[in-house]
Amino acid sequence: MRLSENFLWGAAISNVQAEGGYLEDGKCLDVYDTLEVLPEIGTEPVASSTDVASDHYHRYKEDIANMKEMGFKACRFSIVWSRIHPGGDDFKVNEKGMAYYEDMIDTMLEAGIEPVCSLVHFDMPDLLYRKYNGFWDRRVVDFYADHVAAVAKRFAGKVKYWITYNEINLVTWSHLVSGADRPEGVSMPVFHERLLHHTQLAHAKAVLAIKEADPEALVGGMIAQQAVYPYSSRPADIYAGDFAKKFRNDLYNDVMTGGDYPDYYKSFLRNQGLDPELPAEDREIISSAAAKLDYLAFSYYASGVVKAPEGAESMSTAELEYKIAFESEKCSNSYLTANEWGWQIDPMGLRIVLKDMHDRYHKPLFIVENGIGMDDKLVDGKVYDDGRIDYYIKHIDALEKAVVDDGVDLMGYLAWSPFDFLSSHKEVRKRYGFVYVNRTKDDLLDLARIPKKSFYWYKKVIASCGEDLANDIDY
């Protein structure tokens, strides 16, 4: 057998994108509900309302039954903050929200599925965004820490695997991640450093709160991982590729495992005329959490290419690093194909990041999102998603090589996603699930759950513990 019997096979959900029930049982508006998104490609508006989404709020038992049928060992889900603390800043727990997730966790456990609980996944009470500008304001760190402590206490002993913060390296991408917009007159380096500092502090406080509630729990940090390649062998491109990789990815893992800003980030701050030191009291919290961190989790969908700016060779370090960090031109890789949304398919990139993280951190790794967005079509009650199966075959083969041939310590593989739900841009047409959810952008139809061809293929993969990847399903 290529992978261990304890390998955590399954898939992951972002509950705010799946649940709907957006104002039910005391939940308040969430940043995901109010977010105004532009389409990812093209100009047609694509966003759907979040009020029903995939109705996971009412159909989670059916969704978990489907996961059980596929043989899942684990399911990553997220606890929506605005269900648990709808007051945002009043420190009051909404019992109905807690009870809802408790039943979801119990249902998974009864189905033999290990719950992997994420604490903030593209969600936050909208009030914390409007009143405080999210994690830009340090007080939000305390609201978050209080929220995590309440959840960790409640589910201690039931949830063994925790993820503190989804894609913590995307903090400046959107207020969907951090609850913050850049205030007028604030430079990008200042905005970035402050969000990094506050979210790392939030992550650290979460690690400590979970460990205090349950010393047996295993806690991981999580980033959106991307293999980063230089555009060419021009030395400035190599420099840019290296700096971008560190700035986009390593920085966050370095802080979560090392407990302080790494040297390259301190020099970056100094070159931008900023103070590179964390306050001693915060560094203490961040470093004690680093000592307790059990594993590093990440999502992986695609790789990226970085090109040095024009005239890079004669620029000051400050200008060059600023441009690479915040003004990088998006380039495509001519060796790779892409899905309709331009995400470049790169299974070897997954092996590259696994090897790199293993060598750099010597910690167990956990792939907690990997998949492909496709415009699946329901034809005569069936969905032939061979493109998805092909994507998974190549990525699972790559991770198996990383484990077996390269010695990477990998805890599990969670695909994205068990069933269809809204994308981060609230798009219904961009589907990822093993189970089709019958709805369109504006018409909820019957929201029926229909297993796609990949459902039966993944079931076979899990049953063979990753040995049998062939696409030979009679569907």
Binding site for ligand BG6 (CB under 6 A): 14, 17, 122, 166-167, 224, 299, 369, 373, 416, 423-425, 430
Residue-wise burial string across 96-105, b where 16 or more C-beta atoms lie within 10 A, e elsewhere? ebbebbeebb
Is 42 or 112 the residue whose CB approaches ligand BG6 more closely? 42
Active site residues: 167, 369
Q: Residue 425 CB, nearest distance to ligand BG6 (Å)?
A: 6
Contact indicator for 454, 385 with CB cutoff of 8 Å: yes
The three-state DSSP-derived secondary structure of 117-147 is EECCCCCCEHHHHHHHCHHHCCHHHHHHHHH
Is 31 or 308 the residue whose CB approaches ligand BG6 more closely? 31
Is 276 or 387 the residue whose CB approaches ligand BG6 more closely? 387
Q: In the complex, which residue's CB is closest to ligand BG6?
A: 423
Is 172 or 423 the residue whose CB approaches ligand BG6 more closely? 423
Is 295 or 322 the residue whose CB approaches ligand BG6 more closely? 295
Q: Residue 24 CB, nearest distance to ligand BG6 (Å)?
A: 21
DSSP state letters, 263-322: HHHHHHHHHTT---PPPHHHHHHHHHHHHH--EEEEEEEEEEEE-PPTTGGGS-HHHHHH
Closest CA relative to residue 436, chosen from 453, 424, 419: 419
DSSP state letters, 397-428: HHHHHHHHTT---EEEEEES-SB----TT-BS
Q: Which residue's entry shows tokens 């019992």?
A: 95
Q: Residue 383 CB, nearest distance to ligand BG6 (Å)?
A: 18
Is 50 or 166 the residue whose CB approaches ligand BG6 more closely? 166
Q: Residue 317 CB, nearest distance to ligand BG6 (Å)?
A: 31
Region at 133 (left for phi over 0; alpha for psi -120 to 50; beta for the rest): left
Q: Which residues contact 258 (CB under 8 A, 6 or more apart)?
A: 287, 290
Distance of CA 170 to the CA centre of its chain: 9
Q: Residue 419 CB, nearest distance to ligand BG6 (Å)?
A: 13
Q: Which residue's entry shows tokens 């806690």?
A: 219
Q: Residue 31 CB, nearest distance to ligand BG6 (Å)?
A: 13
Separation between Cα atoms, residue 353 and residue 408, nearest integer Å: 11
